[in-house]
Structure 1
Amino acid sequence: MKGIMIQGTASDVGKSLLTTAICRLFANEGWRVAPFKSQNMSNNSYVTIHGEEIGRAQGIQAEAARTEASVWMNPILLKPRSDQQSEIILFGKSLETMSGRGYPNQFYEKGIEVIHSSLEYLEQHYDVLVIEGAGSPVEINLKSRDLVNMKVAEMADVPVVLVSDIDRGGIFASIIGTLELLTPEERKRVRGLIINKFRGDMNLFKDGIKWLEENTGVPVLGVIPYIEHHGIDAEDSLSLPNQIPRYQNREIDLVVLHLPYVSNYSDIEPFAFEPDVSIRWVRHGDEFGNPDAVIIPGTKSTINDLDYLKSVDIDRQVKDFAHKGGFLIGICGGYQMLGEHIIDEAGSDTGVIGKKVEGLDLISGQTVFHPVKDTNRVKGSILSRNKRGQLLVEGYEIHLGITTHPESEQSFIQLENGRTEGYCNEDGTIIGTYFHHLFHNDDWRNEWLNLIRKSKGLTLRAPIYAGHLKEERFDSLAERLKENLDWTLLKEISFESEG
């Protein structure tokens, strides 16, 4: 199989971003390239054209590769719903919820079978695979049941490039330690090193490169500079500080609640392109301040995260903010929190059948959790009473709960299938919706921001079409990588197993 596997010395060393850039570089040369991550653990997901759920990183990597994202690119997705349990998404559909202890013992053989079938499919339909690992390949307590690192490299029979993050320090120890903990056969697969997130003068690291090559026998393929605010969707919440810049002292102060089980936080990323908007991720009540707008994002565990907001006094501040006419939007789980009650009828949110909790009571209605998840790509038009007009929007839904309101309440979106969705009060200050990627609709995002600007006496602005910049961001990232990477050697390594 032609391909390469990108592994790392730790989590958040930049594997996903480098995989994205490599996919674009191969695509730019005319190769049919596919990303692959056998098992992903993330609450930031992506809905395929067929309404199936995969890791968001693989969906974005497919876009960079100029191909349609599919479940074959991420057949196993684990979505943490507590410290002990994760929902298992198999080939895009929810299978069951397992404990961290039970999963490797009960699912390993099935996982191997799933990975085999996925690799066979991708090999038949693509020229090159760019495979991403997870965390570190030498977590000794996990290696015997590995479904995502060296076992996958062996199954695909591809060479490995090891990536390390120099910004966090300890890079020499992390690389040497990782290589030493590999078996001799695994060690042979490592054909290159990449030093990522470098700051400063690269000439000052020449001695470091020489030392690594002499002491490992592995070539350093490149030293990649620290790329801030690259605009490529993140995979996990470790990347949030770098993915979404927290500009200070801008005209609009936007607070996003940093929930413990926050999901699909890529919903917020388009605000980074707005020159008058600062984004503040808030965890505790004493950080709330006096924002102009508040967003409650999606969550993998609505009730647990609502309990968290109550425990840190943010629930009271959000209610006070809304009652004073502040602009508040709840997305998916955040929408569910806005209602009067949440009932876990099936136990699918908390594991406790029939559990009922009080919501924020900012809108009429309640949410009931059922056992079957609703996952769809959706399109529709905005409904409102505040003369914002009929704006077309598109996005996707991923939710277990069903939220109902009295018939007298105003819906937010008219969907293409005739169904109405969400809630919007008369003046547009309180909105709840299951519509993920709502803010990626540039015209609507601008309309909402202009309502806030008008309320503050600020100058109204024309839309910024951040969505149109995606291809430019992919190409810019790829070129930045190519400038600092021995691309010719990496391709040679990728094609070693050909034939």
Structure 2
Amino acid sequence: MNGIMVQGTASDVGKSLIVTGLCRLLANEGYAVAPFKSQNMSNNSYVTIDGKEIGRAQGVQAEAARTEASVWMNPILLKPRSDQHAEVIRFGTSYSTFSGKGYRDSFYQMGLHSIELALNNLQKDYDVIVIEGAGSPVEVNLKERELVNMKVAEMADVSVLLVADIDRGGVFASIIGTLELLDPSEKKRVKGIIINKFRGDPELFKDGITWLEERTGIPIVGVLPYVDHRIEGEDSLSINDRFASKKGSIDIAVVQLPYVSNYSDFEPFQHEDVAIRWIQHPIDIGEADAVILPGTRSTMSDLNWLKARGFDASINDFVTRGGSIVGVCGGFQMLTNSIIDEFGSDTGKSDFSAEGLGIIPASTTFHEAKTTIRVSGKLHPSTNLAFMISGYEIHLGETSFSKPDDKPFLQLDDGRSEGYYGEGGKVIGTYIHHLFHNDDWRTDWLNCLRIQKGLPIQNRVNRSQLKEITFETLANELKPHLNWNLIKEILFERDYK
């Protein structure tokens, strides 16, 4: 297999971003390239064209590679449901829920088979596979039955690039320590080292490069600058990094639920005059122009968290005072009057129910089967707006209204009326993820907030065009700092002896 694997000395060292950049660089040279991550743990999902669920990062990497995302690119997705349990998505479909120990004991052989099948299918259709690892390859307590680092490099028979984050400090120790803990056969696969997130004068690091190459016998194939990118993040590790420093005249408070999912819903605000604040306490709502309840992997658990912190009273008071609120997916469910979990699909307890926040006159009932589908349509005629909408649904259960025609938000192409649009658009609930990725709709919604503040309206920002520019910018920023010819030699290499 022609491919290369990007592993890291730790989590959040920049593996996903580097894989994204490599995919675009190879695609620019005419290769048919596919990203691959055998096992991803994230509540940030991507729905493929055939309605299957994979990790968001692999979907974005496929876009960078100019190809259609598929389940072969992420055969195993783990979605945390609690501190000790996660739902296992296998080839885009819910397989089971395991504890950490149960997963290692019961799923390992199935996992190996799934990875092998996925790699074989990708190899048929692509010239090059760029593989992403997870965390560190030398977690000694987990290494014996790992499914995402050196075992995958062995199965794919590819070389490894080891990435270290110099910005967090201790880069020399992290690199040497990682290499020392690898088995000799694993260490032979590491053919290059990348120093990521470098700030300052590269001349001052030349001695460090020389020391590392002499100490390890492995070339430094890149010293990458700290890139202020706009590529969608993979998981909650990067939420605050992604949004904290963004300033703007429109203030939107997004409740940071413990099991928040699909926060890529709000990435388009990065290109607008908007400040996103992730809040965990009711007092932080402050004078927000809008509040958003995002999706969640555990609606009931996060609803209890909201109530325990007093968000229920604060959100109701915010709406009563004329504030604008949007509930997306699980956030939409929480805004309804009641939530019923008949089969224990969300809580694990059958016939469980709870009162919602009571802002939307509807009730939510969880079902056993999950809905995952791409959708398109337009705003419902009752809204008096004519915007086209596309996005995707990933959710358990359905929400039904007191009246069948009670203020729907969308009219989908499949004939369904969807969501809720009340108080002239100040209260919105929907199951549609990536609602704000629709440029016309997002612009109109933000302009309504601007008008309320006495601010001038702004023109439409073309999100799709900006995304393509972002991929190209990333590739152009990384390439001068990579030994690109050596990386391509390593990519096609086969000697690990």
TM-score range, shorter chain: over 0.9
- CA separation of 1:269/1:245 partners in 2, compared to 1, >3 Å: closer, same or farther? farther
Alignment partner of 1:286: what SS?
helix
- Partner of 1:405 in structure 2? 401
- Tell me if the contact between 2:285 and 2:291 (Cα under 8 Å) persists in the aligned partners: no
Map residues 60-139 of structure 1 onto 2, 5 A cutoff.
60-139=60-139
Q: Which amino acid aligns with 2:451?
A: K
- Partner of 2:289 in structure 1? 292
- Partner of 2:250 in structure 1? 252
- Tell me if the contact between 1:79 and 1:87 (Cα under 8 Å) persists in the aligned partners: yes
Distance 1:245 1:443 in 2: 25
Distance 1:246 1:435 in 2: 27
- Deviation, structure 1 residue 245: 4.6
- Tell me if the contact between 1:53 and 1:375 (Cα under 8 Å) persists in the aligned partners: yes
Map residues 381-400 of structure 1 onto 2, 5 A cutoff.
381-383=378-380, 385=382, 387=384, 389-400=385-396
- Alignment match of 1:262 (pick from 260, 263, 270): 260
Map residues 5-44 of structure 1 onto 2, 5 A cutoff.
5-44=5-44
Map residues 346-365 of structure 1 onto 2, 5 A cutoff.
346-365=343-362
- Deviation, structure 1 residue 314: 2.1
Q: Deviations over 1:414-473 (max 9, x none)?
A: 000111100010411000000000000011001111111122222111111122211111
Q: Deviations over 1:296-324 (max 9, x none)?
A: 11100011111111122222211111111
- Deviation, structure 1 residue 101: 1.4
- Deviation, structure 1 residue 360: 0.6
Distance 1:199 1:117 in 2: 41
Distance 1:22 1:77 in 2: 22
- Tell me if the contact between 1:375 and 1:398 (Cα under 8 Å) persists in the aligned partners: yes
Distance 1:490 1:157 in 2: 16
Distance 1:286 1:195 in 2: 41
- Partner of 2:225 in structure 1? 225
- Partner of 1:309 in structure 2? 306
- CA separation of 1:476/1:245 partners in 2, compared to 1, >3 Å: closer, same or farther? farther
RMSD between aligned alpha carbons?
1.1
Q: Which amino acid aligns with 2:272?
A: E
TM-score normalised according to structure 1 size: 0.97
Distance 1:308 1:332 in 2: 17
- Deviation, structure 1 residue 291: 0.5
Distance 1:286 1:335 in 2: 21
- Tell me if the contact between 2:9 and 2:135 (Cα under 8 Å) persists in the aligned partners: yes
- Tell me if the contact between 1:386 and 1:426 (Cα under 8 Å) persists in the aligned partners: no
- Deviation, structure 1 residue 385: 4.6
Distance 2:335 2:111 in 1: 38
- Tell me if the contact between 2:338 and 2:355 (Cα under 8 Å) persists in the aligned partners: yes
- Partner of 1:451 in structure 2? 448
- Alignment match of 1:472 (pick from 469, 472, 476): 469
Unaligned runs of 5+ in 2: none
Alignment partner of 1:460: what SS?
coil
Q: Deviations over 1:66-124 (max 9, x none)?
A: 11100000000000011111001000001111111100110000111111111111111
Alignment of 1:331 onto 2:332: no
- Partner of 2:368 in structure 1? 371
- Alignment match of 1:273 (pick from 267, 271, 274): 271
Q: Which amino acid aligns with 1:43?
A: N
- Deviation, structure 1 residue 61: 0.6
Distance 1:483 1:415 in 2: 46
**Corresponding residue pairs, total:** 494
Distance 2:20 2:157 in 1: 21
- Tell me if the contact between 1:161 and 1:191 (Cα under 8 Å) persists in the aligned partners: yes
Q: Deviations over 1:361-415 (max 9, x none)?
A: 001111111110000000010126554x210010000000211112251100000
- Partner of 2:2 in structure 1? 2
- Tell me if the contact between 1:385 and 1:426 (Cα under 8 Å) persists in the aligned partners: no
- Tell me if the contact between 1:245 and 1:272 (Cα under 8 Å) persists in the aligned partners: no
- Tell me if the contact between 1:385 and 1:427 (Cα under 8 Å) persists in the aligned partners: no
- Partner of 1:153 in structure 2? 153
- Partner of 2:342 in structure 1? 345
Alignment partner of 1:154: what SS?
helix
- Tell me if the contact between 1:374 and 1:400 (Cα under 8 Å) persists in the aligned partners: yes
Distance 1:17 1:344 in 2: 38
Distance 1:414 1:242 in 2: 36
Q: Deviations over 1:337-363 (max 9, x none)?
A: 000111111111111111111111001
Alignment of 1:241 onto 2:237: no
Alignment partner of 1:16: what SS?
helix
- Partner of 1:197 in structure 2? 197
Alignment partner of 1:341: what SS?
strand
Q: Which amino acid aligns with 2:252?
A: L
Distance 2:301 2:198 in 1: 38
Q: Which amino acid aligns with 2:82?
A: S
Alignment of 1:438 onto 2:398: no
- CA separation of 1:384/1:311 partners in 2, compared to 1, >3 Å: closer, same or farther? farther
Q: Which amino acid aligns with 1:339?
A: T
- Deviation, structure 1 residue 196: 0.6
TM-score normalised according to structure 2 size: 0.98
Instruction: Give the % identical residues.
Output: 60
Distance 2:314 2:170 in 1: 42
Q: Which amino acid aligns with 1:231?
A: R
- Tell me if the contact between 1:410 and 1:426 (Cα under 8 Å) persists in the aligned partners: no
Q: Deviations over 1:18-39 (max 9, x none)?
A: 0000000000000011100011
- Tell me if the contact between 1:288 and 1:314 (Cα under 8 Å) persists in the aligned partners: no
Q: Which amino acid aligns with 2:127?
A: D
- Deviation, structure 1 residue 330: 0.3
- Deviation, structure 1 residue 289: 1.5
- Tell me if the contact between 1:384 and 1:428 (Cα under 8 Å) persists in the aligned partners: no
- Tell me if the contact between 1:51 and 1:376 (Cα under 8 Å) persists in the aligned partners: yes
